[in-house]
Amino acid sequence: MTLKDKLIASMPPSAVGNVKQRQISALKTKLTATDYKAIKYAEGLYSDEEYAPTKAERQALREQIRALEAEISAEEGGEQWKR
CA atoms within 13 A on the CB side of 74: 7
**Whole-model pTM?**
0.72
Nearest CA-CA partner of 41 in 29, 26, 56: 56
**How far is the C-alpha of 32 from the C-alpha of 38, rounded, in Å?**
10
Q: What is the CA radius of gyration of the chain?
A: 17
pLDDT, one tens digit for every residue, the chain (83 residues): 777 666 666 766 666 668 999 999 999 999 999 999 999 999 999 999 999 999 999 999 999 999 999 998 988 775 544 44
Whole-number pLDDT of residue 82: 45
